[in-house]
Structure 1
Amino acid sequence: MSSTTSTSSFPERMELSGEGLVLRDWTEADLAAMPELFDHPDIAYWTPIVSPFDEAAAHARLGRARRLRADGTTILLAITVDGGAPLGEVMLRRDTESTEIGYAIGPAHRGQGLAARAVRVMAAYAFEQLGAEQVVLELEAENAPSVAVATKAGFTLLDRPLIEGEEKGRPFALQTWGLNRP
């Protein structure tokens, strides 16, 4: 992994296109749609996104997305097909150790390949613009939909120790899946 990626900042505004998707910044216009995307038992269980996810949580997430971007550590982008209505979110977090991608797709928009496509677009950005040598996904083996996304996006399970912890009062053990620079 290139340690130089952690020193450059992210652009103030972002829009990435590819694979029939437009990944774009969250805006105030998205606040009303966010609870429909994120207030769901699957998202509450498998992700660190707050639950219940209401209007106040939407405002907090928008503010957090902007702070993390300004800090140069994390990008949170809305997943859309045309730059319009958000269907989910894709995240890229980088530090000196790794470049990690994460995602959440609204329940009404699953089964369309959105997560795998968004992950591939974000991985291409990490390779081409940030100079990352590898991007990773950290997920639980029991999360079959995420394992399928990792596989569809071209990631392979890495021989790394499990990342163990607790989130929302529930223990977890994350596998690390990796995709190397083409």
Structure 2
Amino acid sequence: MQSTPSPFPARIELRGEGLVLRDWTEDDVPAMPGLFDHPDIAYWTPLVSPFDEAAARARLARDRRLRGEGSVILLAITVDGRTPCGEVMLRRGEAGIELGYAVGPAHRGRGLAARAVRVLAAYAHEELGADRVVLELEPENVASVAVATRAGFRPLDVPLIEGEEKGRPYALQTWGRNLP
């Protein structure tokens, strides 16, 4: 029995807006806790907390598995092609292409998330044929709303996505960006 090939390439490197978005590697594992083990990230994202080296290794393994299944791409956000500053995510779902992001506390305030989202949105359009990409975020997450706005997204007139994660209820607002 043959398996269906992944619609995503085994390796990805995207350049644009002064960034290099690249695959996570084993060499990044020591840096990942410094990026993701933070109260803001623990609160607003589904990432595990505490985020230690074991969590980093599990995330890397999950990234590779989901990429192979053709459902998710996780890329390190870098400015130099080496040092990770955060992560940008592309997920293929029933509703289309969804993007997500997290930037380490030491790297915030430089527009990395908005730029990374624009670069990955362009990839979704050019390589995956997406007409629209979406972000799902909590309206109370002021920093994430600012990123969405700077990246050219606008709230869509659709119902909130309600659920619970880590014992905390949430209501996600869907933001969209139509691509050229």
Deviation at 1:102, TM superposition (A): 0.1
2:53 match: 55
- What 5-or-longer segments of structure 1 have no aligned partner? 1-6
Deviation at 1:110, TM superposition (A): 0.2
1:108 partnered with 2:106: yes
1:35 match: 33
Pick aligned residue for 2:177 from 164, 176, 179: 179
Contact persistence 2:85–2:103 (CA under 8 A): yes
Rounded Cα–Cα distance in structure 2 between residues aligned with 1:83 and 1:70: 23
Rounded Cα–Cα distance in structure 2 between residues aligned with 1:70 and 1:162: 30
Deviation at 1:8, TM superposition (A): 5.9
1:25 match: 23
Deviation at 1:181, TM superposition (A): 1.4
Q: Per-residue CA shift, 1:109-132, capped at 9, x if unaligned?
A: 000000000000000000000000
Q: Per-residue CA shift, 1:66-112, capped at 9, x if unaligned?
A: 00100000000000001111000000001242100000000000000
Rounded Cα–Cα distance in structure 2 between residues aligned with 1:38 and 1:133: 31
Rounded Cα–Cα distance in structure 1 between residues aligned with 2:169 and 2:25: 33
Rounded Cα–Cα distance in structure 2 between residues aligned with 1:181 and 1:8: 24
Amino acid aligned to 2:11: R
Contact persistence 2:6–2:68 (CA under 8 A): no
Q: Per-residue CA shift, 1:35-72, capped at 9, x if unaligned?
A: 00000000000000000000100000000000010000
Q: TM-score, normalised by structure 2?
A: 0.96
Amino acid aligned to 2:75: L
1:3 match: none
- What 5-or-longer segments of structure 2 have no aligned partner? none
Residue aligned with 1:159, SS: coil
Amino acid aligned to 2:155: L
Larger relative contact order (C-alpha < 8 A, sep ≥ 6)? 1
Rounded Cα–Cα distance in structure 2 between residues aligned with 1:34 and 1:78: 10
Alpha-carbon RMSD across the aligned residues, in angstroms, is 0.9
Q: TM-score, normalised by structure 1?
A: 0.95
Rounded Cα–Cα distance in structure 2 between residues aligned with 1:147 and 1:79: 19
1:85 match: 83
Rounded Cα–Cα distance in structure 1 between residues aligned with 2:175 and 2:64: 27
Amino acid aligned to 1:17: R
% of aligned pairs identical? Answer: 76
1:13 match: 11
2:138 match: 140
